[in-house]
Amino acid sequence: MGETAFPVSARAQATRFSSVAAVVAAAERLRAQGVDVIDLGAGEPDFATPEHIKAAAKRALDENFTKYTAASGILALREAICARAAEDFGARYDPAQCTVTVGGKQVIFNAVLALINPGDEVLLEQPCWVSFPEIVNFAEGRLVPVATEETDFHLTAEAVRRAITPRSKLLILNSPSNPTGRVIAPAEFSKIVEVAVEAGLWVISDECYVQLVYPPGAPFSAAALPEELRARTLIAGSLSKTYAMTGWRVGFALGPREWVGEVIKIQSQSTSNVTSIAQKAAVAALTGPQQAVGEMLAEYRRRRDYLVPALNEIPGIVCGEPEGAFYAFPDVRGLTRACGFENSKQLADALLNDYGVVLTAGSAFGGEGFLRLSYATSLGALEEGVARIRRMHLDRTS
C-alpha cells in the first residue's frame, strides 16, 4: 500500500528543525562511522551534574516522589528560585510570580505565545540564539532584527530605540549571549529596558547563562532592575548551564504575576509539570553549596584564555574575547575566502566532513561570516580542534 502524503499544517511547515540539532546529528553520524570527531558544537557543559544534586533526585525516587505536581511546580522549588534571586541580585519576588518549566526554552515559548498576536513586532538582536526567531514565527509575530555587529555585538539602547515602531510589542534580551558571548553592561541593560518600557513594550530577559560571566564582569539580572521596569519584564531562567543539568529539563519564569499566570496556563495544557524528581534535584541545586558553579566558570575561563589567542593566530580569523557563556564567535571571513569557500556554512561543512571538527556556521544565528565554537569541552579537544582548523588552512592555501 502506498503511503498517503501527510498533510503538514501551515504552522509546522513554517517551523524549521534546529540547525544546532542538525549539526549534533551530523556529528553522531560521523562518530558512528568511526571518525575521530572533535565536538565544538555542543551548547552544553561537559561536566557531570554535581553529586549532591543527583543524591536529591535519588532520594526523591526512594521516597516515591513520583506523582504529578502543580503545573507551576512545587512550592519549595519556587521559593528556592525566589530566594536565589534575592541572594544573588537583591530582588524580591514571591512564589506567585514564579513558575517551573521544562527548561528555559519553554518559558520563552509560552511567554511569547501568551503575549504575541499575529503581526505584533518582536525586537531581537542579531545574531541570536536559533530558537528565538522560530518561536516568534510560531506565534506569527513579526521579527524586527536589531543589528549589533557594528557595536561589536553589544546591544545598545540607541539601537533598540531606533528599531521601535508603534507595532512593537516585545523585546527579547539574552545576556550573556549565545552565540556571541557578549554581556550587556548593567547600566546599558537598564537603559535598554527603560527605552523599551517607556515605549510600552514588554521584555523577556533570557538569563540562561547569567551566572557564567568572566571577571572583571559580574552576573547581572533583570531581577535587579527597579520595580517599574520589572513590572514589564519576564526573566527566563534555567538550571541547565549553571549546574550542568541540561538533561534534567528545569527552567523557570520570574516576572509579572499575570504574564506568569498565562505561562502556567499554556503549560497546564501542554507539558503539565516538570518531572517531580527533577524538581527535587533543582531545590538541592539552588539551596545547596554553590562552589561547583564557580569551579566550572574558572575552567571555562582557562579554556577561553587558550582558545581565543590560538584562533587569532590562524590567518584569516579574528576572534573577540567572550565575556560570558562558553562560546567563541570568531570572524572567519578571511579564512573562508582564503580556503575558497563562499560562506560560513561551506566552511563549517568542510571542517566537519574533511577534518571531523563539529562547529556551527554563524549564519545559523543570523551572523554570516562567523563561526560558533563551544569551549564546553576539554582543553585537549580544543587544542586538537585548533590544529585541524590550521591544517585545513594549510591544505587549502599551499
Question: How many whole angstroms from its chain centre is CA 93?
Answer: 23
Instruction: Determine contact, residues 127/361, Cβ cutoff 8 Å.
Output: no
Q: Does 240 bind ligand PLP (CB under 6 A)?
A: yes
Is 206 a binding residue for ligand PLP by CB under 6 A? The answer is yes
The answer to whether 178 contacts ligand PLP (rule: CB under 6 A) is: yes
d(CA 335, CA 227): 48
Region near ligand PLP per CB under 6 A, out of 97-105, 222-230, 290-298, 301-309: 97-105
* Rg of the chain, C-alpha, whole Å: 21
Nearer to ligand PLP, 207 or 331 (CB): 207
Instruction: Assess 267 for contact with ligand PLP (CB under 6 A).
Output: no
Considering the rule CB under 6 A, would residue 168 count as an interface residue with ligand PLP? no
Helix (H, G, I), strand (E, B) or coil at 8: coil
Reference 322, options 173, 130, 178, 147; nearest CA is 178
Q: Kindly tell me which residue out of 69, 126, 221, 238 binds ligand PLP, with binding defined by CB under 6 A.
A: 238
Q: State the residue number with the nearest CB to ligand PLP.
A: 103
Stretch of 101-109, 110-118, 184-192, 353-361 lying at the interface with ligand PLP (CB under 6 A): 101-109
Q: Decide if residue 208 touches ligand PLP (CB under 6 A).
A: yes
Q: Is position 251 an interface residue for ligand PLP (rule: CB under 6 A)?
A: yes
Between residues 129 and 355, which has the closer beta carbon with respect to ligand PLP? 129
What distance lies between CA 220 and its chain's CA centroid?
16
Place of cell 523585546: 171
- Measured CA to CA in angstroms, residue 239 lies from 96, 251, 263, 311, 375 at distances of 19, 6, 18, 30, 19
If one counts every other C-beta atom within 10 angstroms of the C-beta of residue 64, the result is: 8
CA distances (Å), origin 20, targets 125, 128, 197, 322, 368: 18, 12, 32, 20, 15
Nearer to ligand PLP, 195 or 250 (CB): 250
Q: Which is nearer to ligand PLP, 105 or 230 (CB)?
A: 105
Q: How many CB atoms lie within 10 A of CB 167?
A: 11
Q: List CB contacts of 96: < 8 A, sequence separation 6 or more.
A: 257, 260
| Part of the chain binding ligand PLP (CB under 6 A), chosen from 5-13, 102-110, 162-170, 266-274 | 102-110
Q: Residue 89, interface with ligand PLP (CB under 6 A)?
A: no
Contact code string over 110-129 relative to ligand PLP, x by CB under 6 A? -------------------x
Q: Which residues form the interface with ligand PLP (CB under 6 A)?
A: 43, 103-105, 129, 174, 178, 206, 208, 238, 240, 246, 251
